[in-house]
Structure 1
Amino acid sequence: MNTKNIKIDLANATGEEMHPMISEAFPYRFRRMHFNPINGFSVEWHWHREVELFYITEGILEYQTPEGVYQFPAGTGGLVNAGILHRTKSGNAPDQTLQNIHIFQTDFLCNDKNSLFYQKYIEPVLTSGIDIYHFQGGTRNTKKILDRLQKSFHLNEDDFLYEMKLRQNLEEIFALCTSAEFQPRDATPGMTKMDANLKTMMFYVQENYSEKIAVSDIANAAALSERECYRLFQRFVKTSPANYLKQVRLEHAKNMLAHTDLSFTDIAMQCNLGESSYFGLQIKKETGMTPTEYRKRHRS
């Protein structure tokens, strides 16, 4: 299986995905994601201030957040709330998974936080405590949402009323998300602060994986004790900070094996995975293949 990650634009040290195409005049962006052997089958941990509203047209896509892991097969969709740390991975590899996404600031729907519209239909979604809304199943409101979602992706950008029709569809989806079917839940006490600390530590690892770093360095990045660092990783990422660091290094190493001609020694050095012999053992343990076999498999 190709484990190449799809690249996105991140702000260094924060892990925030940047959307330079989104403007104040039109705070919206359409994106079509192709998860396949050429582009890759996963997008690593990131977050963004915008809402992400998506529909799966082919394959299966898995979303992971600190709250859990969710699968979305073709014909379903979801809404990733603003500021939620998440990663995605195709559940359909080596076959293709296709995803259509609306990425937008809620200002696109309503920029007056004192208005009745914002307080009745926008704010309840943003403050619901729900990390990802799931649009799958046969309930009436879910069917309506999926219908609006599909229609919104088939609008013609060249139509005179395109922006108005798009906003109308997104407004209706937000309004339907406030129905009793999608029950808000109490946010985990202190989750906002914990989420910020977790983001800081995870992206410290992603920025510094090639360096010799210890758990104490990861904890210091968020001004936390090692004990609190361990607790946050175990609770929300379901692994230790040391294992997370190792996994990040291995993912980069596998990408280099598949997509560069660097020697095994150079890859091991750049990913801080020790001597080439130890590196070979780790790749074998991770993939069931030697580095040579892995490179050959992903070049064929």
Structure 2
Amino acid sequence: MNNIHHIEFHTGSKEELFPDFSVDFPYIASRAELDKYAGRFVPWHWHKAVELFYMKSGSLEYHTPGGKLLFPAGSGGLVNSNVLHMTRAMPQTEENIQLLHIFDLSLLSGEPGSRIEKKYITPIAAAPQIELIPLFPGNAAQEAILKRITEAFRFSGEEFGYEMKLREALSEIWLMLFELSRPMLENGRTHSKSNDKIKLMMIYIHEHFAEKLSIAELAASAFLSQRECFRVFRECLNMTPVEYLNTYRLQTACRMLARGTEPVTVISHACGLGSSSYFGKVFREYAHCTPSEYRKRWQDCDT
């Protein structure tokens, strides 16, 4: 199981990159130490692989376009394929450990178009109403799934039959989730085009955040009017395009401060935030400390 302290992305996107994913066995187990992430949060992102998680300690707030949920220690859940989400460690002072099974659904379904894919995988993976399946102790059915999730972390890659045992365990968990999610599947919500449009505009921002961007340019990247651009951002992220752009610039600055040694002036211009005096002002409002204080705090955490 890999210990992770930060998130990586595909170039010019907010689709998460999994460097250890292999084509012949698309699965990784991770131990996310979220209290060591810069700012103790993971920004908005998505990934084709599904995310099956268990909270070992602390609490984690999950945000999706459909709302937010708090997961305390002992709870867990499933984040569906390609769902836009962000997480924040709660509260801000204690250890926060999340255990994750991350895998491509082809691991369970086999060949594209197989009976297993059509009958058991696609009904959940393609259901727009299923962004997140929460699992909490106190409910017998959900507790049983949580138990299976934690047991599946005990398999060792060194033992004979590891891959087949793990696939069997994940398949059992998936079937249990299928049964649990039947009431959600009966809600025949159609696919929202806003989900696709917001990703196009987020990608455009991630590729051009250092430049001077206009709402007209941003809207055009998703073939929308400016009015529709504002509506989609409000619907999916509960913020305006400008608020997201500025937040993304500041998050990028946080990562640069936490991981590098570039002067503050260089970082402010590289993130599209202009002069160092303006950068210092907006950064203090965002992070409640100066850029230099932030750098010291988070670089000290890695030592």
With normalisation by structure 1, the TM-score equals 0.87
Q: Which amino acid aligns with 1:161?
A: G
- SS at 2:86's partner residue? strand
Question: Is the Cα–Cα contact under 8 Å of residues 13 and 200 in structure 1 kept in the other structure?
Answer: no
For 2:58 and 2:33, the matched residues in 1 are separated by 10
SS at structure 1 position matched to 2:109: coil
Letter in 1 for 2:283: I
- Unaligned stretches of 5+ residues in structure 1: none
Indicate whether 1:82 and 2:81 are aligned.
yes
What whole-Å deviation, never above 9, does each CA across 1:202-238 have from its counterpart, x for those lacking one? 1221222111111122112212211111000011100
Between the aligned partners of 2:12 and 2:217, the Cα distance in structure 1 is: 14
Match in the other structure for 2:55: 56
Two-structure CA RMSD over aligned residues (Å): 2.5
Give the Cα separation in 2 of the matches to 1:117 and 1:290.
54
Query: Aligned partners of 1:221, 1:92: CA distance in 2, in Å?
Result: 37
Task: Say whether residues 1:266 and 2:266 are aligned partners.
Answer: yes
- Give a deviation string over 1:81-107, Cα, whole Å, max 9, x none: 111112222224343321221111222
What is aligned with 2:224?
224
Distance 1:224 1:155, change over 3 A: same
* SS at structure 1 position matched to 2:239: coil
Q: CA deviation at 1:182?
A: 5.2
Residues 166 and 277 from structure 1, CA distance in 2 versus in 1: closer, same or farther, beyond 3 angstroms?
same
Which sits farther off after the overlay, 280-289 or 71-80?
Answer: 280-289
Q: Does residue 108 of structure 2 align to residue 109 of structure 1? A: yes
Rounded to whole Å, the distance in 1 between the matches of 2:109 and 2:24 is 13
Alignment correspondent of 2:275: 275
Question: Do the aligned residues in 2 keep the contact of 1:56 with 1:74 (CA within 8 Å)?
Answer: yes
Q: 2 CA distance for matches of 1:20 and 1:287?
A: 29
Alpha-carbon distance in structure 2 between the residues aligned to 1:16 and 1:239: 20
**Superposed counterparts of 1:61-210, under 5 Å:** 61-112=60-111, 117-128=116-127, 129-180=129-180, 183-185=183-185, 186=187, 188-191=189-192, 193-210=193-210
Instruction: Output the CA distance in 2 between the equivalents of 1:190 and 1:116.
Output: 23
Do the aligned residues in 2 keep the contact of 1:52 with 1:103 (CA within 8 Å)? yes
Residue ranges of structure 2 left out of the alignment (5+ in a row): none
**What's the offset of the Cα at 1:168?**
1.7
Which amino acid is 1:53 matched to? L
Aligned-partner Cα distance in 2 for 1:105–1:294: 36
C-alpha change, 1:274 and 1:13, in structure 2 (3 Å) is closer
Q: Which segment drifts farther, 171-180 or 16-25?
A: 16-25
**Once the two structures are aligned, what percentage of the paired residues are identical?**
36
> What residue is the counterpart of 1:236 in the other structure?
236
Q: Are the structure 2 counterparts of residues 293 and 130 from structure 1 closer, same or farther at C-alpha, using a change threshold of 3 Å?
A: same
Contact 2:54/2:150 (8 A) holds in 1: yes
Whole-Å separation in 2 of the counterparts to 1:115 and 1:292: 55
CA contact (8 A) 1:62 1:70 kept: yes
Q: 1:118 to 1:268 in 2, by over 3 A?
A: closer
Match of 2:9 in 1: 9
Paired residues, number = 294
Deviations 1:221-269 (A, max 9, x none): 2122111110000111000001110111122233344444444333322
Counterpart secondary structure, 2:179: coil
Change in CA separation of 1:152 and 1:292 when aligned onto 2, cut-off 3 Å? closer
| Structure 1 contact 210–270 (Cα < 8 Å) conserved | yes
Distance 2:227 2:258 in 1: 37
Seen in structure 2, the aligned counterparts of structure 1 residues 69 and 267 have a Cα distance that, compared at 3 Å, is same
Partner Cα distance (2:97, 2:56) in 1: 6
Q: Distance in 1 between matches of 2:70 and 2:179?
A: 22
Mapped to 2, the partners of 1:131 and 1:293 lie a distance apart of 37
Structure 1 distance, partners of 2:295, 2:111, is 54
Verify the 8 A CA contact 1:54 1:102 in the aligned structure 2: yes
TM-superposed deviation, 1:167: 1.5
1:22 paired to 2:14: no
Distance of 1:82 and 1:244 partners within structure 2:
23
Per-residue deviation, 1:108: 1.4
